[in-house]
């Protein structure tokens, strides 16, 4: 079976994701995964990297790196204040608030 | 023989730009607003909001780059630096990693050891984070996003500095350049200029760099100098004991004069930068670059040279006059009005500095208008008021920006040039002080000074002391 990324499901993956890697990626992404989810994620990430390997087969020497998908540049604002005080609306998104501020668990430097 | 160590220092300097609005939204950057009153969906990282770049930020960054002899990347873009922390509502900071706006520059510094060029690796644009305040009562943290999205440039030096003197000279040079450009007020104490110090030590003669640490929380030139000496000593001690220096971020405690490792935000150094898809690239045309170049004001180094050349001002004085843009502006405008650079310089170097010191004020805070200082100088030159009265009037100019002409008129401070009136008062003084008169005639010159003083007092200071002196001598034969 061919999936949409052109890599067949049954094929043995070239990229094997280790337990340490999945643990590390989980920490970076602030995700807590169950053992089952970790196995699934290892499999998925491995396949993604296989796909990237496939893309890397293309000879791109002499091609400028793409920095944006749209052929647009220089979208600017003038330096003029356009926003007023919308604290009430902004704080409506806060899980908790106190004295006009977002209240969060204690952070230590 | 004990080993000799060399300190290697590089600086990351953050400068808050003087724009009216934030870098990616139309929220005000004004200081002192109540928490979260200068926020919107963009600078609080609400899903679906779109950042739009403030053009002025690009112009300021270019101006600073040109003034520090940098190359400009005419095609530059923004990247996301990913980390989780409550001061960063998007969970990423928009910064520049791959194509920073300026690169490969440098500034010349001067210390007691001579002149030296400190290389600038790059300057990039980025956004500031929010402010966290610890709440003692509930043992929680409170977040204010008013500073979130305030534009910054980060000026990254090469590891070219070797001691605290060079670091201070470099920071001072950057501060002057940025202030003269009007790109920021660069106040360390208020955080509009912040310096992180990367420091390592190595044995003299070694080519290889040692392991470096990064020090944060340095909010005065003095703290920076102490932190450098403290961290150098700490690293040398480790090396002498055969222990490794650990690459880490440390927080300088200026009261304890020691740096402490900051609790590492878990794996915080893996920022997984990638191009920000919300922002399109910035393309700087040759015309735009030239327009910014043409608008560059005269910088301090050029001003210093011109003052010496044009006004024949001594090195030391020219240094003080140009140390603050405000002071230099007052000097030039006043000189243009009265045409007497030396006199203007004297007032600024003398009374102005004295009062600034007395009031613990910075030259940037000077509030009087050049027109009033020019008028005061003209009143003295014309003999309308004497030097003593002028000092009194100057205080009013300094504190209240008073119009000297009006002030002199209203308080009747004009020097009395009426010879009859002066003679009458001098005669009275002579009559009232027979002992001093006798002393003077007996050869005690000091007695004359006393009589001049008495006359000035009787005239309420409104006499020309030279004229009083002359008249007394005449009358006493
Ligand atoms: Zn905003």
pLDDT tens, residue by residue, B393-405: 999 999 999 999 9
pLDDT tens, residue by residue, B337-358: 999 999 999 999 999 999 999 9
Name residue, tokens 């006009």: A100
Does residue B228 belong to any structural domain of this protein?
yes
Helix then strand count (H, E) for chain B reads 16, 17
Does residue B153 belong to any structural domain of this protein?
yes
Does residue B383 belong to any structural domain of this protein?
yes
- CA distances in angstroms from B39 to A87, A101, B78, B192, listed in the order given: 7, 11, 22, 19
Which of B97-101, B159-163, B284-288, B464-468 has the weakest average pLDDT? B464-468
What predicted TM-score, i.e. pTM, was given to this entire model?
A: 0.83
Give how far B170 is from chain A: nearest CA, Å. 28
Q: What is the DSSP string of B297-347?
A: PP-HHHHHHHHHHHH---HHHHHHHTSSHHHHHHHHHHHHHHS-HHHHHHH
Between β-strands A76-77 and B53-54, what pairing exists: parallel, antiparallel or unpaired? parallel
Q: Among B381, B410, B439, which residue terminates a domain?
A: B410
Same domain, B260 and B344: no
Q: What is the DSSP string of B415-445?
A: ----HHHHHHHHHHHHHH-HHHHHHHHTT-T
Does residue B43 belong to any structural domain of this protein?
yes
Same domain, B398 and B464: no
Contact B476, B441 (CB under 8 A): yes
pLDDT tens, residue by residue, B363-379: 888 999 999 999 999 99
**What tokens were used for B375?**
């008028």
Q: Among B410, B436, B456, which residue terminates a domain?
A: B410
Same domain, B446 and B375: no
Residues of A whose CB is below 8 A from B132: 104, 107
A99 CB within 8 Å of a chain B CB: yes
Mean predicted confidence (pLDDT) in B175-179 = 94
- In angstroms, the CA B47 to CA B368 distance is 49
Query: pLDDT-based confidence at A6, cuts 50/70/90?
Result: low
Partnered with residue B258 across adjacent β-strands are B253
Same domain, B160 and B189: yes
Does residue B444 belong to any structural domain of this protein?
yes
Q: Which of residues 247-276 of B touch A (CB under 8 A)?
A: 251, 262-263, 266-267, 270, 272, 275
A92 CB within 8 Å of a chain B CB: no
Mean predicted confidence (pLDDT) in B61-90 = 95
Taking CA–CA distances from B139, the nearest residue in chain A reads: A106
- Residues whose CB is less than 8 angstroms from the CB of residue B204 and which lie 6 or more positions away in sequence, other chains included: B4, B5, B6
Task: Tell me which residue range forms the domain holding B100.
Answer: 5-288
Higher pLDDT, B418 or A70: A70
Same domain, B215 and B121: yes
Same domain, B270 and B366: no
Backbone φ and ψ of B287, nearest 5°: -65, -45
Higher pLDDT, A3 or A57: A57
What does the mean pLDDT of chain A come to?
A: 87
Name residue, tokens 């600024």: B348
Backbone φ and ψ of A23, nearest 5°: -60, -45
Same domain, B267 and B352: no
- In angstroms, the CA B352 to CA B85 distance is 47
- What CA dihedral angle connects A54, A56, A60 and A66, to 10 degrees? 100
How many A/B residue pairs have CB atoms within 8 Å?
Answer: 136
Same domain, B310 and B189: no
pLDDT at B259: 86
Residue B206 scores a pLDDT above 80? yes
Q: Which of residues 113-132 of B touch A (CB under 8 A)?
A: 132
Q: How many domains does chain B have?
A: 3
Q: Among B227, B258, B288, which residue terminates a domain?
A: B288
- CA distances in angstroms from B98 to B123, B125, B281, B303, listed in the order given: 12, 12, 12, 36
**Which one, of B175, B118, B171, lies nearest residue B299 by Cα?**
B175
- What CATH number is given to the structural domain containing B465? 1.10.10.410
Same domain, B56 and B89: yes
Which of B19-33, B287-301, B326-340, B463-477 has the weakest average pLDDT? B463-477
Same domain, B232 and B83: yes
Does residue B293 belong to any structural domain of this protein?
no
Same domain, B184 and B233: yes
Same domain, B277 and B306: no
What does the mean pLDDT of chain B come to?
A: 92
Higher pLDDT, A93 or B8: B8
Cα-based angle B215, B217, B219 (whole degrees, multiple of 5): 120
Give how far A15 is from chain B: nearest CA, Å. 20
């Amino acid at each position: 079976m061919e999936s949409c990324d052109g890599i067949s499901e049954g094929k043995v993956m070239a990229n094997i994701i280790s337990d340490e890697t999945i643990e590390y990626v989980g920490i970076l992404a602030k995700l807590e995964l169950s053992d089952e989810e970790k196995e699934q994620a290892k499999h998925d990430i491995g396949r993604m990297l296989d796909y990237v390997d496939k893309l890397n087969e293309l000879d791109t020497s002499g091609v400028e790196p793409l920095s944006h998908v749209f052929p647009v540049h220089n979208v600017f604002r003038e330096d003029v204040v356009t926003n007023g005080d919308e604290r009430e609306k902004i704080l409506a998104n806060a899980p908790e608030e106190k004295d006009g501020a977002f209240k969060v668990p204690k952070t230590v430097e | 023989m004990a080993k000799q160590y060399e300190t290697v220092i590089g600086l990351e300097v953050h400068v808050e730009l003087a724009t009216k609005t934030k870098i990616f939204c139309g929220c005000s950057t004004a200081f002192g607003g109540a928490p979260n009153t200068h926020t919107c969906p963009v600078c609080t990282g609400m899903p679906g909001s779109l950042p739009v770049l403030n053009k002025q930020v690009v112009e300021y960054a270019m101006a600073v780059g040109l003034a520090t002899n940098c190359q400009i990347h005419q095609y530059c873009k923004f990247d996301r630096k990913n980390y989780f922390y409550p001061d960063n509502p998007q969970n990423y900071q928009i910064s520049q990693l791959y194509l920073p706006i300026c690169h490969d520059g440098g500034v010349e510094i001067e210390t007691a050891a001579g002149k030296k060029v400190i290389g600038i690796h790059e300057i990039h644009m980025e956004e500031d984070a929010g402010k966290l305040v610890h709440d003692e009562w509930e043992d929680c943290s409170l977040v204010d996003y008013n500073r979130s999205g305030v534009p910054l440039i980060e000026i990254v030096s090469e590891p070219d500095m070797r001691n605290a003197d060079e670091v201070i000279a470099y920071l001072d040079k950057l501060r002057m350049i940025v202030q003269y450009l009007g790109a920021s007020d660069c106040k360390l104490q208020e955080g509009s200029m912040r310096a992180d110090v990367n420091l390592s030590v190595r044995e003299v003669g070694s080519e290889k760099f040692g392991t470096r640490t990064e020090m944060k929380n340095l909010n005065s030139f003095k703290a920076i100098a102490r932190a450098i000496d403290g961290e150098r000593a700490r690293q040398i001690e480790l090396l002498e004991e055969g222990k490794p220096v650990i690459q880490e971020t440390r927080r300088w405690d200026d009261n304890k004069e020691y740096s402490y490792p900051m609790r590492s935000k878990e794996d915080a150094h893996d920022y997984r930068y990638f191009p920000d898809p919300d922002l399109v690239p910035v393309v700087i045309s040759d015309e735009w670059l030239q327009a910014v170049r043409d608008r560059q004001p005269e910088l301090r180094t050029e001003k210093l040279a011109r003052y010496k050349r044009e006004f024949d001002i001594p090195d030391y004085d020219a240094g003080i006059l140009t140390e603050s843009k405000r002071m230099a502006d007052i000097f030039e405008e006043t000189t243009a009005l009265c045409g007497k650079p030396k006199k203007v310089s004297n007032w600024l170097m003398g009374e102005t500095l004295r009062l600034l010191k007395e009031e613990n004020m910075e030259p940037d805070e000077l509030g009087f208008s050049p027109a009033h200082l020019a008028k005061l100088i003209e009143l003295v030159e014309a003999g309308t008021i004497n030097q003593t009265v002028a000092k009194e009037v100057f205080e009013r100019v300094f504190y209240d920006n008073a119009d000297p002409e009006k002030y002199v008129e209203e308080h009747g401070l004009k020097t009395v040039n009426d010879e009859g009136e002066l003679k009458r008062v001098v005669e009275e003084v002579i009559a009232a002080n027979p002992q001093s008169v006798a002393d003077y005639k007996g050869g005690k010159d000091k007695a004359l000074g006393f009589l001049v003083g008495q006359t000035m007092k009787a005239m309420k200071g409104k006499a020309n002391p030279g004229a009083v002196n002359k008249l007394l001598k005449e009358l006493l034969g």
